[in-house]
Structures are given as C-alpha cells and as structure tokens.
Amino acid sequence: MKPYFVKTPSLVKFLFRNWVWSFSKKEKAIYLTFDDGPTPEITAWTLEQLNKYNAKATFFCIGKNIEQHPEIFHKIVKNNHSIGNHTHNHLKGIKTTTADYLDNINKAELAFHKNSKLETQSLKLFRPPYGKLRFSQSRKIRKKGYKIIMWDVLSADFDTKITNKKCLENVIKNTENGSIIVFHDSVKASEKLQFVLPKILEYYSEKGFVFKRIALPNLLKY
C-alpha cells in the first residue's frame, strides 16, 4: 500500500487552500465523516452508534450504493446527517478524463435526488475517492457549486496492514478542535470501524466535544 499522511500537513492545506480541510479551532467540535456507503453490513450500525451520543456526521455516498440500498440512505437522511457526493462508481480522478469524472458526479447527484427530498444546495459537498483529482476537475467541480471536503485526520481504517489499536491511535493522537476525520462505512473497513467508533464517541464526549455535521454555515468563509 502506498504511504499516506494520517495528519494532513499544513503545507498541503496551504497549497490546496480552495479545498476544506478543517474548521475553527475555537470550538470543541469534531466533524466525523464516512466514505463509500451506504452498505447494509455497516452503515445502519454506524447510525446506531452515532444516535447513542446524539452525534451528527457527514456521509460521502457512492451513487450506485444509494441505488442498491435506498432504505439505508433514507435512514441517513432521516437522522439529519449531512450527505456528500463521492461519485457514482468510486472513480479515481487522476485516472479518469475530466468529462467522464464530471458525468459520474452528475450521475451520483441524480441518485441523491431520486432518493431524497433534500434541497440541491444541501447536497453540494464533494469528496474525491482516494483524495485525488486533477486541477481541471477541481475547478469545474467548484464551478458547479460544490465545496470540496478533504480531511485533517485519516483514521486509515481501510488499511488491512494496521491493527485496530493503531487505527484508534491515529485518531486520538491527531484530532483537535475543528478536525475533519475520515472513516469508511464499507465492508473492508468494518472491523476497524466497529472497534474504533464507539471508543471515539465515548472518549471525546467525556472531554466535552460535540460531533457536528458539515453544512452550509460551516462553509461560508470558503
């Protein structure tokens, strides 16, 4: 597996400052995000854990998964979490033409609208699969009104070579006020997520943090 940053370096945030990496450090708030769902094996469980702590989160959903599991998508929306676009087929931007990439995003957006009554504006969050896309893609995605949401902390729950405890350590050691944290509600990440998420929710709740979803008011400065 290629190397990755668990904590996003300040230089990366500066170089790609048109993308959203974190929020204000003045408030004890954390922004949990979940990529690649909805999946029947783990998304419903994730919602149950969040509900126990009255925690809100943001789910970056794959369009085809929404079409295959609309009932789970409805649960995400009903529980008042934010929804973000993660393409329709989990495409890697740097290996896809800009035209095809934008078409895939549009296809996912159609799946969102067919399966929810959310306003268009509330769906304008985008996270590129693998965290990679071309500059031309970035410009055109933002021109479509999307905010590109990246992250401050990568839990690495997708990494089969690390232990559950290391995944937990990645989050605990690097999270601070305003951090956006990446998890995955996918089958591949499910074992680590089931170990880490309850502990994260308990640990930060006891420290007085609140778990917020990413929504338009957070993004007015961008």
* Three-state secondary structure readout of 147-207: EEECCCEECCCCCCCCCHHHHHHHHHHHCCCCEEEEEECCCCCHHHHHHHHHHHHHHHHHC
pLDDT (tens digit per residue) in 95-151 = 999 999 999 999 999 999 888 876 555 679 999 999 999 999 999 999 999 999 999
Q: Which pLDDT does position 215 carry in this prediction?
A: 87
pLDDT at 222: 43
Domain boundaries, the chain: 10-219
pLDDT, tens only, 20-29 = 999 999 999 9
Q: What CATH number belongs to 10-219? A: 3.20.20.370
From residue 20, give the alpha-carbon distance in Å to each of 49, 94, 131, 144. 26, 19, 12, 16
How much of the chain, in percent, has pLDDT values that exceed 90?
Answer: 90
pLDDT at position 2 over 90: no
